Amino acid sequence: MARPETLGVHAGREDFSELGVHAPPLDLSTTYPVRDLDEGTTSFDALVGGAATAANPIYARLHNPTVARFENALAQLEGTTDAVAFGSGMAAMSACLLAAGQRGKHVLAVRPLYGTNDHLLNSGLLGIRTRWVRPEEVAGAIDTDTALVIIETPANPTLDLIDIAAVVKAAGAVPVLVDSTFATPVLQQPATLGATLVLHSATKFLGGHGDVIAGVVACNADWAVALRQVRAATGGLLHPLGAYLLHRGLPTLSLRVLKAQENAQILAERLAAHAMVAKVSYPGLGTVANAHLVGTQMRGPGSLMAFEMCGGHAAAARVMAAVKLATPAVSLGSVDTLIQHPAGLTHRVVDAATQAQHGITPGLLRLSVGIEHVEDLWSDLSQALDAARLSAAA
């Protein structure tokens, strides 16, 4: 099997020679002519039923070839038979929960998760009953109605790691969903460790340029059928322009991830030595849970970190106000560096007690390191930290 660097360049392009093109085609059609009614009816039934393709695409909510090429590429990168793309990461998670709801109404989930996923699971909006557990509690918490086990590794925003293979073993016959957004298939392939569903907010590293919102789930053929049925019924489709941008970005995914990771290791070490930083949580420093999984489960520590400011919320806010090169904004995985405050932004919808329990404190900042020159990044971060120190001393 080809390596991620090669797959990123070539996957999903298998029909280019036949089409006589070199760049990914972009099909913006919303509907397709039906000359043969019998063929159209058969195609409609197939696509609504969750088929990947049919003789006639019928309607863009049911199938689009540009989206299908991106799905094919992502499946190859994750080592699964299929992938199903959606209009956002939350649409992808919602589809997984709706599909799982056909099997049972009970879900086990391990915190921390992305804040809106936490909120969705806790809300009961989709008729799902969620029990929050630690990884070692999974086996004992499964009941006859358990339809899914959900984990995120590396975790958002603490960067703690979870042993995927151990959770899969504990879950037994219950499918395991891994949110692998922080790792990307360049650093981690959960399906090779037994995970049934591998979810990405494709907005992040897969897009990589801050110009597309999307979600995608890599999975086996049976789950793909169920997810396509949900997508067809709910309209959670990915726009073909978004799929085009995602597919176009995959050839540089490995380059972007590895360069950002290189920068992150240097910045983490320097942040850890700064007087205004109480703690840096980064797998490459060994300062997160299960950091030993770097080098086995993960090919590297990635480019996300969280650091605790001395001075709490005021100091964190001052750093966000003082950065000039880094962008104070939510999201992650872009070519440029982003810094944000989880307690006040991405995890604002999680109750304060749960935030505190999982280390999401008023002084915590999450840094998504980009591909800029590392010395320029450090110059910016160090001046912002110095600004926070001066403000605290005033």
CATH code where residue 310 lies: 3.90.1150.10
DSSP H or E stretch at residue 122? helix 115-123
Instruction: Compute CA 39 distance to the chain's CA centroid, rounded to the nearest angstrom.
Output: 38
pLDDT at 390: 79
Domain end among 203, 233, 252: 252
Per-residue model confidence as pLDDT tens digits over 196-206: 999 999 999 99
pLDDT at 41: 98
Mean pLDDT, residues 53-64 taken together? 97
41 in Cβ contact with 49 (< 8 Å)? no
Mean pLDDT, residues 97-107 taken together? 95
**Per the structure, how many domains does the chain have?**
2
For residues 358 and 231, membership in a common domain is answered with no
Strand duo 338-340 + 364-368: pairing: antiparallel
**CA separation, residue 20 to residues 17, 24, 25 (Å):** 5, 11, 10
pLDDT band at 389 (very low <50, low <70, confident <90, very high): confident
Residue showing tokens 């290189």: 262
Mean pLDDT, residues 186-213 taken together? 98
Instruction: Identify the CA nearest to 205 among candidates 336, 114, 80.
Output: 336
179 as an active site residue: the answer is yes
Per-residue model confidence as pLDDT tens digits over 7-49: 999 999 999 999 999 999 999 999 999 999 999 999 999 999 9
For residues 22 and 151, membership in a common domain is answered with yes
For residues 201 and 277, membership in a common domain is answered with no
Q: Hey, is 316 helix, strand or coil?
A: helix
For residues 124 and 11, membership in a common domain is answered with yes
159 in Cβ contact with 293 (< 8 Å)? no
- How far apart, in whole angstroms, are the C-alpha atoms of residue 146 and residue 12? 35
Of the residues 13, 59, 61, 118, only one is catalytic, namely 61
CATH number of the domain within which 58 lies? 3.40.640.10
Of the residues 13, 204, 228, 231, only one is catalytic, namely 204
Range(s) of the domain holding residue 294: 253-393
For residues 166 and 46, membership in a common domain is answered with yes
Of the residues 82, 179, 256, 318, only one is catalytic, namely 179
For residues 33 and 153, membership in a common domain is answered with yes
Of the residues 13, 59, 114, 228, only one is catalytic, namely 114
153 in Cβ contact with 162 (< 8 Å)? yes
Domain end among 252, 276, 311: 252
For residues 199 and 278, membership in a common domain is answered with no
392 pLDDT higher than 80:
no
Share the mean pLDDT of the chain. Answer: 97
pLDDT at 394: 65
Handedness of CA 115, 338, 375, 373 (dihedral sign): positive
Global model pTM greater than 0.95: yes
For residues 232 and 265, membership in a common domain is answered with no
For residues 81 and 164, membership in a common domain is answered with yes
Sequence letter at residue 120:
L
- How far apart, in whole angstroms, are the C-alpha atoms of residue 190 and residue 171? 14
103 as an active site residue: the answer is no
- How far apart, in whole angstroms, are the C-alpha atoms of residue 36 and residue 196? 38
18 in Cβ contact with 27 (< 8 Å)? no
351 pLDDT higher than 90:
no
The CB-side HSE value for 239 (13 A sphere, CA atoms) comes to 7
- How far apart, in whole angstroms, are the C-alpha atoms of residue 13 and residue 1? 16
Per-residue model confidence as pLDDT tens digits over 259-302: 999 999 999 999 999 999 999 999 999 999 999 999 999 999 99
Q: Which residues contact 17 (CB under 8 A, 6 or more apart)?
A: none
Mean pLDDT, residues 175-193 taken together? 98
Torsion angle defined by CA atoms of residues 272, 278, 281 and 285, in that order, rounded to the nearest 10 degrees: 30
Domain end among 234, 252, 270: 252
For residues 129 and 66, membership in a common domain is answered with yes
118 in Cβ contact with 347 (< 8 Å)? yes
163 as an active site residue: the answer is no
Torsion angle defined by CA atoms of residues 240, 241, 245 and 247, in that order, rounded to the nearest 10 degrees: 20
61 as an active site residue: the answer is yes
98 in Cβ contact with 104 (< 8 Å)? no
For residues 248 and 273, membership in a common domain is answered with no
For residues 186 and 275, membership in a common domain is answered with no
